[in-house]
Amino acid sequence: MVRTLKFTRYLPESGWFPHVLTVKNRDRFYTTLGHDDIPEQVAVHRSWNVLNNLSILEGGLRRLKITSQVLVPDAYCGWIPQAVRDGVRIIKTEGIELIYVSCPPFSAALIGSALKKRTGLPLVVDFRDSWTLNPYSGRYLVPFLKKLDEKFEKTVFETADFIITATEGIKEDYIQKYPSVRSRIEHIPNGFDTEDVPEHVELFEKFTILYTGFFYGTRTPETLFRALEKILRSSQIPPDKIRFLWAGPEAPFVFDLADKYNIRKIVEYIGLIPKKKADELIYQSHLLYFVIGGTENHMDNTTLTGKIFPYLASGRPLLAEIPAGAAGEMIRKYSDNSFITSHGDSDGLAEAILRSYTSWSTGKNIPVGSEKTERFREEYSFRKLSNRIGNVFDKCNRTHGP
d(C-alpha 287, C-alpha 246), whole Å: 12
- Asked if 203 contacts 238 with a C-beta cutoff of 8 angstroms, the reply is no
Q: Where are the alpha helices (DSSP H) in 315-345?
A: 326-334
pLDDT at residue 183 tops 80: yes
Mean per-residue pLDDT, 190-211: 90
d(C-alpha 69, C-alpha 72), whole Å: 8
Percent of the residues in the chain that have a pLDDT greater than 90, as a whole number: 65
Q: What is the pLDDT of residue 367?
A: 57
Among 51-55, 85-89, 158-162, the minimum mean pLDDT is found in 51-55
Among 22-26, 111-115, 208-212, 261-265, the minimum mean pLDDT is found in 22-26
| Domain extents in the chain | 2-191+381-400, 195-376
Mean per-residue pLDDT, 297-308: 66
pLDDT at residue 297 tops 50: no
pLDDT at residue 56 tops 80: no
d(C-alpha 87, C-alpha 108), whole Å: 11
Q: What is the pLDDT of residue 296?
A: 46
Q: What is the pLDDT of residue 55?
A: 54
Q: What is the pLDDT of residue 384?
A: 96
Higher pLDDT, 178 or 365: 178
Q: What is the pLDDT of residue 57?
A: 60
Tell me if residue 289 falls in helix, strand or coil: strand
pLDDT at residue 142 tops 50: yes
Quick count: other Cβ atoms within 10 Å of Cβ 357?
A: 19
Mean per-residue pLDDT, 19-48: 77
Q: What is the pLDDT of residue 400?
A: 73
Percent of the residues in the chain that have a pLDDT greater than 70, as a whole number: 88
Higher pLDDT, 115 or 67: 115
- Asked if 42 contacts 118 with a C-beta cutoff of 8 angstroms, the reply is no
Quick count: other Cβ atoms within 10 Å of Cβ 331?
A: 20
**Prediction pTM value:** 0.87
How big is the CA angle at 121 (ends 187 and 160), to the nearest 5 degrees?
A: 35
**pLDDT tens-place string over residues 237-264:** 999 999 999 999 889 999 999 999 999 9
Mean per-residue pLDDT, 370-383: 92
Q: What is the CATH number of domain 195-376?
A: 3.40.50.2000
d(C-alpha 201, C-alpha 281), whole Å: 9
Q: Where are the alpha helices (DSSP H) in 120-221?
A: 143-159, 168-177
Mean per-residue pLDDT, 357-371: 77
Q: What is the pLDDT of residue 304?
A: 73
Quick count: other Cβ atoms within 10 Å of Cβ 128?
A: 19
pLDDT at residue 359 tops 80: yes
Mean per-residue pLDDT, 120-141: 86
- Asked if 87 contacts 113 with a C-beta cutoff of 8 angstroms, the reply is no
Q: What is the pLDDT of residue 114?
A: 98
Among 87-91, 97-101, 153-157, 371-375, the minimum mean pLDDT is found in 371-375
- Asked if 224 contacts 291 with a C-beta cutoff of 8 angstroms, the reply is yes
**How many residues would you count in the chain?**
402
Q: Which CATH superfamily is domain 2-191+381-400 in?
A: Glycogen Phosphorylase B; (3.40.50.2000)
Note whether 2-191+381-400 and 195-376 share their fold. Answer: yes
